[in-house]
Structure 1
Amino acid sequence: MIAALTLDLDDTLWPVMPTLLRAEAVLQDWLRTHAPATAAAFDVPTLQRLRGEVAHRHPELAHDLTALRLITLREALISAGDDPALAEEAFDVFFAERQRVQWYADVRPALERLAARFPLLALSNGNAELAATGLSAYFVGAVSARGCGVAKPSARIFAAACAELRCAAGQVMHIGDDWRLDIVGARQAGLHTAWIRRPEAALHHGPASPDLDAPPAGQHLHVDDLLALAEALGV
């Protein structure tokens, strides 16, 4: 029944929090040199709080993390008296470091096995760029919340992924770590699902004993990592 797979990226193929913290530290170093007043007024936690305020004021941009970060940087620069035109260069510094992810150990061998059997499509709410992460060779393409104009768990983004794969929803399995965004969203859109709940993850995005009665029926797997998924799918 399954003809193709869609995969979440952050916290499914790599731990995202260490990546973001490192990128924010690199951005802070850049600000100290190029916008010292902003660096003095906005340390990492303060900039994070401002980004939360920006997100609250711009719910229409909830799907676009890049836009929210750019607005945040411009507001911080203006507030501190620095040149707001520096926002794009500052974001580029952050964004380049944000792509330097460290895959989970199972990811490359599992993707080799899965990609030999299924077309794989990245499906992410985040702004990681697949080519920059070093894993694009295993994927036929990517659908992002920013490009789609809507984020998971909306059925629209799952429908866009199925259309990209030229498959019906019932032919596609979505794989992700977040119970609400990935699993419930995908099942309500008619996809099969595989929930990656890594034992080493600091945070599990979902219930310990999930109730599968609410979403529509369909194949559902609950596995510790992608190698276990490959085994379950017989590849």
Structure 2
Amino acid sequence: MPEITSPQPTASGAVAHTLELDRIQAITIDLDDTLWPVWPTITRAEEVLADWLREHAPATAIAFPDPKSLRRIRMKVEAERPELLHDLSAMRRESIREALLQCGDDPALAEPAFDVFFEARQQVVLFDDALETLEFLAGRYPVVALSNGNADIRRVGIDRFFKAAFNARDFGVGKPDARIFHAAAQSVGQAPQATLHVGDDAALDVQGALNAGMQTAWVNMDARPWTLDVRPHAAVGTLSELCALLR
């Protein structure tokens, strides 16, 4: 892989970049923490789940009364079922089932309980400039959603901007595996070298996409320092800055 230089601030305070704009024929973009903040969404969904358990599985609700306690049992399941790490829906469902079993409630309730959680998990609050950015990108390129999470672009209500969507659960492997990046590019008839990947995670998004042969734009909204040896072709503090780079 060719050496990639680090984006550096210019004298005006703008972010210099090494994007080759004329090469970009398609965009792949992460969802969680790129188009919306994920943890407020997950916390709200866990609160909805806790309310449901209080009504339908009271023993479990008493033993696991809040999101923090539910996350502890999820960590236990993660350690015991590493084969589910690429499938966050299965991991969540099995965590609920384990909690029900521990407390003597009906484990069959895991299915409707997960459905309640999953519906609430799709109720995201987009970043202020996300819709404008998606409109901009979709008006110029084929755009593909590429996520390790279990957000559903149709349920979220943004599927009109995308030509395709890939997630780790359905594809079988997730980022940073090069195969999911390659499949996303191929789904819109483009080579990885002609594709720009946009995402917030340095290792999963940037390093993964670079290893797959793509150009990369790192969305760094909270001014984190860059710690990896490889570097993105561009770094932006907002999605609006990304649009400005691509104009």
Is TM more than 0.5 here? yes
Equivalent AA in structure 2 for residue 55 of structure 1: E
Larger RCO, structure (CA 8 Å, separation 6 or more): 2
Runs of at least 5 residues in structure 1 that lack an aligned partner in the other structure: none
1:26 is matched with which residue?
48
Aligned mates of 1:210, 1:118 — CA distance in 2 = 30
Aligned mates of 1:45, 1:110 — CA distance in 2 = 34
- 1:6/1:120 contact within 8 Å kept: yes
What secondary structure, in the 3-state scheme, does the structure 2 residue paired with 1:117 have? Answer: coil
Structure 2 residue 24 is matched with structure 1 residue 2 = yes
Runs of at least 5 residues in structure 2 that lack an aligned partner in the other structure: 1-22
Structure 2 residue 210 is matched with structure 1 residue 187 = yes
Aligned mates of 1:32, 1:209 — CA distance in 2 = 43
Structure 2 residue 182 is matched with structure 1 residue 159 = yes
Aligned mates of 1:166, 1:140 — CA distance in 2 = 11
CA shift for structure 1 position 132: 1.1
- Match of residue 175, structure 1, among 198, 202, 205: 198
What secondary structure, in the 3-state scheme, does the structure 2 residue paired with 1:77 have? Answer: helix
Aligned mates of 1:58, 1:37 — CA distance in 2 = 24
2:33 is matched with which residue?
11
Percent identity, aligned pairs only?
Answer: 50
CA shift for structure 1 position 209: 3.6
Equivalent AA in structure 2 for residue 73 of structure 1: I
| Pair 65,209 (structure 1): closer, same or farther in 2 beyond 3 Å | closer
Runs of 4+ in structure 1 off by over 2 angstroms are 209-212
Number of residue equivalences: 224
What secondary structure, in the 3-state scheme, does the structure 1 residue paired with 2:190 have? Answer: coil
Structure 2 residue 101 is matched with structure 1 residue 65 = no
**Aligned-residue CA RMSD in angstroms?**
1.4
- 1:11/1:177 contact within 8 Å kept: yes
CA shift for structure 1 position 144: 0.4
1:37 is matched with which residue?
59
1:224 is matched with which residue?
237
Aligned mates of 2:228, 2:47 — CA distance in 1 = 39
Q: 1:38-76 deviations in whole A, cap 9, x for unaligned?
A: 101113222211111111111111100001111111111
What secondary structure, in the 3-state scheme, does the structure 1 residue paired with 2:139 have? Answer: helix
